Amino acid sequence: MGVLRKIYKITATHERIFTLARILGIDPGLHRTGWGIVDYDGFHLKYVIHGVIIADPAQKIEIRLRHIYKMLSDVIEENSPTEVSIEQVFVNNNPLSSLKLGMARGVAICVASVMGLRVTEYTPNKIKKSVVGSGHATKDQVSIMVQKLLNCGSVKLDAADALAIAICHAHHATCYKMIIA
């Protein structure tokens, strides 16, 4: 699992070799964790799948974190992403909310790491700028652009944010090398 796949395309005069990446974007949250997967070949994005993990707020925190861990593990096992991207934590006015968000984020990073995947982090502004063109775009604007870019139909906001994170990674990652012979 986690192995990059090589794709060969032969044209009349050139052989092109590039790597296909399957990117899992994660928008962590203690109540709702969005996830989305795209394939990227160095030129094109292709929508694969998305979803939202919902953890019952009435449950103890350790139960909720374990649920997020288990569900993300299942997503990774079933879809074989080669890379993971996640939103960097930001500190808001409520320190307790930031702490809880950090716990969910830590679980997401831990799952990816345990499963041998590289994790890349992006700021919320960089994600929005990559997808919408403005670092101060609204959640609705991000959702609309994700749906247009990926032609994936209606997407819930948490999953749209996760897909935006995956798109941002595709635009900014340095692991995609093109060899033209």
Tell me the two tokens of residue 68. Answer: 């997020």
Mean pLDDT value of segment 132-150: 91
Mean pLDDT value of segment 31-40: 97
Mean pLDDT value of segment 109-114: 97
E strand spans, the chain: 5-10, 15-27, 32-40, 45-54, 83-87, 118-122, 179-180
- In this predicted structure, the answer to whether residue 151 has a pLDDT above a threshold of 90 is yes
Domain ranges of the chain: 22-180
Distance of alpha carbon 61 from alpha carbon 50, whole angstroms: 24
Residues recognised as catalytic: 27, 87, 158
CATH number of 22-180: 3.30.420.10
Q: Sorting pLDDT into bands at 50, 70 and 90, what band is 174?
A: low
What pTM was estimated for this model as a whole? Answer: 0.85
Residues whose CB falls within 8 Å of the CB of residue 133, separated by 6 or more in sequence, listed in order: none
Q: What is the pLDDT of residue 146?
A: 96
Helix (H, G, I), strand (E, B) or coil at 159: helix
Parallel, antiparallel, or unpaired: how do β-strands 15-27 and 32-40 relate? antiparallel
Mean pLDDT value of segment 46-64: 96
Q: Sorting pLDDT into bands at 50, 70 and 90, what band is 20?
A: confident
Q: What is the pLDDT of residue 94?
A: 83
Q: What is the pLDDT of residue 100?
A: 87
- Measured CA to CA in angstroms, residue 73 lies from 108, 116, 162, 180 at distances of 9, 12, 16, 37
Q: What is the pLDDT of residue 173?
A: 77
